[in-house]
Structure 1
Amino acid sequence: MTQKDENNRSEIDISSKNHELFIRNRYKFYYNINDVLIAVWFIIGSILFFWKETETIAIWFFLLGSIELLVRPLMRIFSEVHLKNIRSGKAGSGEDTRR
Protein backbone atom coordinates (compact mmCIF):
# COMPACT_ATOMS: atom_id res chain seq x y z
CA MET A 1 0.00 0.00 0.00
CA THR A 2 1.41 3.38 -0.93
CA GLN A 3 1.68 6.37 1.36
CA LYS A 4 -1.04 8.11 -0.64
CA ASP A 5 -3.44 5.19 -0.09
CA GLU A 6 -2.75 5.24 3.64
CA ASN A 7 -3.39 8.99 3.80
CA ASN A 8 -6.65 8.66 1.88
CA ARG A 9 -7.76 5.81 4.11
CA SER A 10 -6.81 7.82 7.19
CA GLU A 11 -8.80 10.80 5.94
CA ILE A 12 -11.79 8.54 5.28
CA ASP A 13 -11.51 7.03 8.76
CA ILE A 14 -11.35 10.48 10.36
CA SER A 15 -14.27 11.68 8.27
CA SER A 16 -16.25 8.58 9.24
CA LYS A 17 -15.49 9.12 12.94
CA ASN A 18 -16.52 12.78 12.69
CA HIS A 19 -19.76 11.77 11.00
CA GLU A 20 -20.40 9.16 13.68
CA LEU A 21 -19.79 11.75 16.41
CA PHE A 22 -22.16 14.16 14.66
CA ILE A 23 -24.87 11.46 14.51
CA ARG A 24 -24.38 10.54 18.18
CA ASN A 25 -24.62 14.18 19.25
CA ARG A 26 -27.77 14.70 17.19
CA TYR A 27 -29.46 11.69 18.78
CA LYS A 28 -28.29 12.84 22.23
CA PHE A 29 -30.04 16.15 21.60
CA TYR A 30 -33.23 14.30 20.60
CA TYR A 31 -33.00 12.10 23.73
CA ASN A 32 -32.81 15.21 25.91
CA ILE A 33 -35.77 16.87 24.17
CA ASN A 34 -37.74 13.66 24.60
CA ASP A 35 -36.87 13.47 28.31
CA VAL A 36 -37.97 17.08 28.84
CA LEU A 37 -41.26 16.37 27.07
CA ILE A 38 -41.86 13.31 29.26
CA ALA A 39 -41.42 15.46 32.37
CA VAL A 40 -43.66 18.23 31.00
CA TRP A 41 -46.52 15.86 30.11
CA PHE A 42 -46.45 14.18 33.52
CA ILE A 43 -46.17 17.47 35.44
CA ILE A 44 -49.09 19.00 33.53
CA GLY A 45 -51.11 15.80 33.98
CA SER A 46 -50.39 15.78 37.71
CA ILE A 47 -51.43 19.41 38.13
CA LEU A 48 -54.63 18.89 36.16
CA PHE A 49 -55.60 16.02 38.46
CA PHE A 50 -56.14 18.52 41.29
CA TRP A 51 -59.51 19.54 39.81
CA LYS A 52 -62.34 17.18 38.97
CA GLU A 53 -63.27 19.01 35.77
CA THR A 54 -59.77 18.60 34.25
CA GLU A 55 -59.22 14.91 35.08
CA THR A 56 -59.94 13.77 31.50
CA ILE A 57 -57.37 16.20 30.09
CA ALA A 58 -54.92 15.01 32.76
CA ILE A 59 -55.36 11.43 31.57
CA TRP A 60 -54.50 12.53 28.02
CA PHE A 61 -51.30 14.17 29.27
CA PHE A 62 -50.35 10.97 31.09
CA LEU A 63 -50.97 9.08 27.87
CA LEU A 64 -48.67 11.48 25.99
CA GLY A 65 -45.98 10.94 28.64
CA SER A 66 -46.35 7.18 28.31
CA ILE A 67 -46.03 7.37 24.52
CA GLU A 68 -42.87 9.45 24.95
CA LEU A 69 -41.51 6.69 27.21
CA LEU A 70 -41.98 4.30 24.28
CA VAL A 71 -40.25 6.73 21.90
CA ARG A 72 -37.13 6.76 24.09
CA PRO A 73 -35.95 3.16 23.42
CA LEU A 74 -37.07 3.41 19.79
CA MET A 75 -34.74 6.38 19.31
CA ARG A 76 -31.88 4.36 20.79
CA ILE A 77 -32.61 1.49 18.43
CA PHE A 78 -32.78 3.84 15.42
CA SER A 79 -29.52 5.53 16.40
CA GLU A 80 -27.72 2.18 16.72
CA VAL A 81 -29.05 1.01 13.34
CA HIS A 82 -28.03 4.32 11.79
CA LEU A 83 -24.50 4.07 13.21
CA LYS A 84 -24.21 0.40 12.22
CA ASN A 85 -25.12 1.34 8.64
CA ILE A 86 -22.44 4.03 8.65
CA ARG A 87 -19.82 1.61 9.99
CA SER A 88 -20.69 -1.05 7.44
CA GLY A 89 -20.28 1.45 4.63
CA LYS A 90 -23.89 1.50 3.47
CA ALA A 91 -24.25 5.23 4.12
CA GLY A 92 -21.30 6.08 1.91
CA SER A 93 -22.21 3.76 -0.95
CA GLY A 94 -25.06 5.86 -2.31
CA GLU A 95 -27.78 3.66 -0.85
CA ASP A 96 -30.70 5.33 0.87
CA THR A 97 -30.53 4.31 4.54
CA ARG A 98 -33.51 6.40 5.67
CA ARG A 99 -36.03 3.58 5.25
Structure 2
Amino acid sequence: MRYNNEIDIPLGKNETIVIKKRYEFFYHLNDVIIALLFLVGSIFFLSSETKEQGIWLFIIGSALFVIRPFIQFLKMFHLKRRNSQSK
Protein backbone atom coordinates (compact mmCIF):
# COMPACT_ATOMS: atom_id res chain seq x y z
CA MET A 1 0.00 0.00 0.00
CA ARG A 2 1.47 3.34 -1.03
CA TYR A 3 1.22 6.21 1.40
CA ASN A 4 0.55 9.61 -0.09
CA ASN A 5 1.19 12.40 2.39
CA GLU A 6 0.14 15.12 -0.03
CA ILE A 7 -3.27 16.64 0.43
CA ASP A 8 -4.72 17.10 -3.02
CA ILE A 9 -8.07 18.83 -3.24
CA PRO A 10 -9.12 19.55 -6.82
CA LEU A 11 -10.08 23.20 -7.16
CA GLY A 12 -10.08 23.53 -10.91
CA LYS A 13 -7.00 25.43 -12.02
CA ASN A 14 -6.30 26.74 -8.52
CA GLU A 15 -3.93 24.46 -6.60
CA THR A 16 -3.54 26.75 -3.60
CA ILE A 17 -4.06 24.12 -0.89
CA VAL A 18 -1.51 21.69 -2.35
CA ILE A 19 1.04 24.48 -2.78
CA LYS A 20 0.55 25.71 0.79
CA LYS A 21 0.98 22.19 2.21
CA ARG A 22 4.25 21.68 0.31
CA TYR A 23 5.73 24.91 1.63
CA GLU A 24 4.45 24.15 5.15
CA PHE A 25 6.30 20.83 5.03
CA PHE A 26 9.61 22.50 4.14
CA TYR A 27 9.04 25.24 6.73
CA HIS A 28 8.49 22.69 9.50
CA LEU A 29 11.31 20.44 8.30
CA ASN A 30 13.64 23.45 8.49
CA ASP A 31 12.43 24.12 12.06
CA VAL A 32 13.12 20.52 13.12
CA ILE A 33 16.63 20.65 11.64
CA ILE A 34 17.30 23.96 13.43
CA ALA A 35 16.09 22.51 16.74
CA LEU A 36 18.27 19.42 16.36
CA LEU A 37 21.33 21.51 15.47
CA PHE A 38 20.87 23.71 18.53
CA LEU A 39 20.23 20.71 20.81
CA VAL A 40 23.31 18.81 19.63
CA GLY A 41 25.32 22.04 19.61
CA SER A 42 24.35 22.66 23.24
CA ILE A 43 25.44 19.16 24.22
CA PHE A 44 28.73 19.57 22.33
CA PHE A 45 29.26 22.93 24.02
CA LEU A 46 29.37 21.26 27.45
CA SER A 47 32.70 19.57 26.74
CA SER A 48 35.84 21.54 25.95
CA GLU A 49 36.83 18.83 23.44
CA THR A 50 33.71 19.32 21.29
CA LYS A 51 33.11 23.01 21.98
CA GLU A 52 34.26 24.12 18.52
CA GLN A 53 31.91 21.65 16.78
CA GLY A 54 29.10 22.98 18.98
CA ILE A 55 29.87 26.52 17.87
CA TRP A 56 29.70 25.45 14.22
CA LEU A 57 26.35 23.76 14.81
CA PHE A 58 25.06 27.03 16.33
CA ILE A 59 26.30 28.96 13.29
CA ILE A 60 24.66 26.52 10.85
CA GLY A 61 21.42 26.58 12.86
CA SER A 62 21.46 30.38 12.84
CA ALA A 63 21.97 30.40 9.07
CA LEU A 64 18.93 28.14 8.70
CA PHE A 65 16.90 30.75 10.60
CA VAL A 66 17.56 33.05 7.64
CA ILE A 67 15.95 30.49 5.31
CA ARG A 68 12.62 30.56 7.20
CA PRO A 69 11.34 33.86 5.76
CA PHE A 70 12.56 32.91 2.29
CA ILE A 71 10.35 29.81 2.39
CA GLN A 72 7.39 32.09 3.11
CA PHE A 73 8.42 34.52 0.34
CA LEU A 74 8.70 31.65 -2.14
CA LYS A 75 5.25 30.41 -1.15
CA MET A 76 3.72 33.88 -1.61
CA PHE A 77 5.49 34.31 -4.95
CA HIS A 78 4.36 30.86 -6.14
CA LEU A 79 0.73 31.48 -5.11
CA LYS A 80 0.69 34.92 -6.71
CA ARG A 81 2.13 33.51 -9.94
CA ARG A 82 -0.42 30.65 -9.98
CA ASN A 83 -3.28 33.07 -9.37
CA SER A 84 -2.17 35.36 -12.19
CA GLN A 85 -1.83 32.38 -14.59
CA SER A 86 -5.31 31.08 -13.79
CA LYS A 87 -6.99 34.39 -14.68
Q: Same fold (TM over 0.5)?
A: yes
CA distance in structure 1 between the aligned counterparts of 2:24 and 2:32, rounded to whole angstroms: 12
Q: CA RMSD in A?
A: 1.5
TM-score (norm 2): 0.83
The match for 2:28 is: 32
- Kindly state the Cα deviation for residue 64 of structure 1 after the two structures are TM-superposed: 1.1
Count, aligned residues: 77
Q: Deviations over 1:36-88 (max 9, x none)?
A: 00100000100001100111100110011101100100100011001000001
- Kindly state the Cα deviation for residue 31 of structure 1 after the two structures are TM-superposed: 0.8
User: Which 4+ stretches in 1 moved above 2 angstroms?
Assistant: none
The match for 1:95 is: none
Instruction: Determine which structure has the larger helix proportion and give its number.
Output: 1
Unaligned runs of 5+ in 2: 1-10
The match for 2:47 is: 51
* Bigger radius of gyration among the two: 1
The match for 2:69 is: 73
TM-score (norm 1): 0.73
Q: Deviations over 1:12-44 (max 9, x none)?
A: xx2233x11100000011111011001000001
Q: Which of 15, 19, 40 is 2:12 aligned to? A: 15
CA distance in structure 2 between the aligned counterparts of 1:68 and 1:52, rounded to whole angstroms: 25
- Greater relative contact order (Cα 8 A, min sep 6): structure 1 or 2? 2
Unaligned runs of 5+ in 1: 1-13, 93-99
The 3-state SS of whatever aligns with 1:15 is coil
